[in-house]
A and B are shown apart, each in its own frame.
Chain A
Amino acid sequence: MVDLLSVLASGILVGTVYAYMAYGLGLIYGVLRVVNLAHGAFLTLGVYVTWWLNTTFGMDPLVSILITVPLGFALGATVERTLVFRLRDSPPVTTLLLLFGVWLIVRNALYLIFGGADRSLLTSYSLESLAVGPLTLSIPRLIVSAFSLLGFVVLALMLKRTWSGLALRAVAQDREAAALSGVPVNRVWAVAFGIGSALAMSAGSLMSLFYSVTPEFGARFLLKSFCVVVLGGLTNIGGILVAGIGLGIAEDLTAFYIHTGYRDVVSFLVLTAALVMRRADSD
Chain B
Amino acid sequence: MSSFTRRHLLLGVGALAGLALVAPLLLANPYSSRLAQLLFMNVLLASAWNLVGGFAGQISFGNASLFGVGAYATSMLWLAGVHPFLTMPVAALLAALYGVAWGWPCLRLRGPYFAIATIGVAEATRIVANHIEAAGGASGLTLPLEQDLGPVLLYALGAVLAVAAVLVSAAVRRSRLGLGLIALREDAQAAAASGVNVARQQVTVFAVTAALTGLAGAYYAVFTLYVVPEKVFGFDLSISLVLMVLVGGIGTVMGPVLGAGIYLFLEQFVLASLADIHLAAFGALLIFIILMEPRGAAPRLAQLVGLVRRRIG
Contact partner of A275 among B116, B131, B279, CB < 8 A? B116
- CB contacts (< 8 Å) of A91 on chain B: these are 57, 111
Contact A105 B283 (CB under 8 A): yes
Contact B287 A101 (CB under 8 A): yes
Report, as a range, how many residues of chain B touch the other chain: 35 or more
The minimal Cβ–Cβ distance linking A18 to chain B, given in whole angstroms, is 15
Contact A94 B280 (CB under 8 A): no
Bound Cα distance A264, B125 (Å) = 11
Bound Cα distance A109, B285 (Å) = 16
- CB contacts (< 8 Å) of A276 on chain B: these are 105-106, 108-109, 117
A161 within 8 A of B: no
Contact partner of B291 among A86, A108, A272, CB < 8 A? A86
Contact A223 B119 (CB under 8 A): yes
Bound Cα distance A261, B277 (Å) = 31
Q: Given that A108-B280, A111-B279 are known contacts, is A272 also in contact with B120, CB under 8 Å in the complex?
A: yes
Flag A36-59 by CB within 8 Å of B: 1 or 0 each.
Answer: 000000000000000000000000
Q: Given that A219-B235, A269-B124 are known contacts, is A105 also in contact with B284, CB under 8 Å in the complex?
A: yes
Contact partner of A94 among B119, B235, B294, CB < 8 A? B294
B130 within 8 A of A: yes
- CB contacts (< 8 Å) of B278 on chain A: these are 108
Who on chain B is nearest to A263 by CB?
B127
Report, as a range, how many residues of chain A touch the other chain: 35 or more
Classify the interface of chain A: helix, strand, loop or mixed: helix
Contact B116 A35 (CB under 8 A): yes
Contact partner of A101 among B112, B235, B277, B283, CB < 8 A? B283
B242 within 8 A of A: yes
Bound Cα distance A35, B108 (Å) = 18
Contact A108 B124 (CB under 8 A): no
Among B112, B120, B121, B123, the one with the most A-chain Cβ atoms within 10 Å of its Cβ is: B120
A 137-180 contacts with B by CB, 8 A: none
Among A90, A103, A265, A283, the one with the most B-chain Cβ atoms within 10 Å of its Cβ is: A265
A 71-99 contacts with B by CB, 8 A: 83, 86-87, 90-94, 96-98
Who on chain A is nearest to B294 by CB?
A94
- CB contacts (< 8 Å) of A227 on chain B: these are 120
A193 within 8 A of B: no
Contact partner of A268 among B106, B111, B123, B246, CB < 8 A? B123
A-B contact pairs, 23 of them (CB 8 A): A35-B115, A35-B116, A83-B287, A83-B291, A86-B291, A87-B291, A91-B57, A97-B246, A98-B286, A98-B290, A100-B283, A102-B287, A105-B279, A112-B276, A223-B123, A226-B120, A265-B127, A268-B119, A268-B120, A272-B120, A276-B106, A276-B108, A279-B113
Q: Which 7 A-B pairs have the closest CB atoms?
A: A104-B283, A101-B286, A108-B280, A268-B124, A108-B279, A101-B287, A105-B283
Interfacial residues, chain A to chain B (CB-CB below 8 A):
35, 83, 86-87, 90-94, 96-98, 100-105, 107-109, 111-112, 219, 223, 226-227, 230, 259, 261-262, 264-265, 267-269, 271-272, 275-276, 279-280, 283
Given contacts A105-B284, A268-B119, 15 further A-B contacts (CB under 8 A): A87-B290, A92-B112, A93-B59, A94-B294, A97-B286, A101-B284, A101-B285, A108-B279, A112-B276, A226-B119, A264-B124, A268-B124, A269-B120, A276-B106, A276-B108
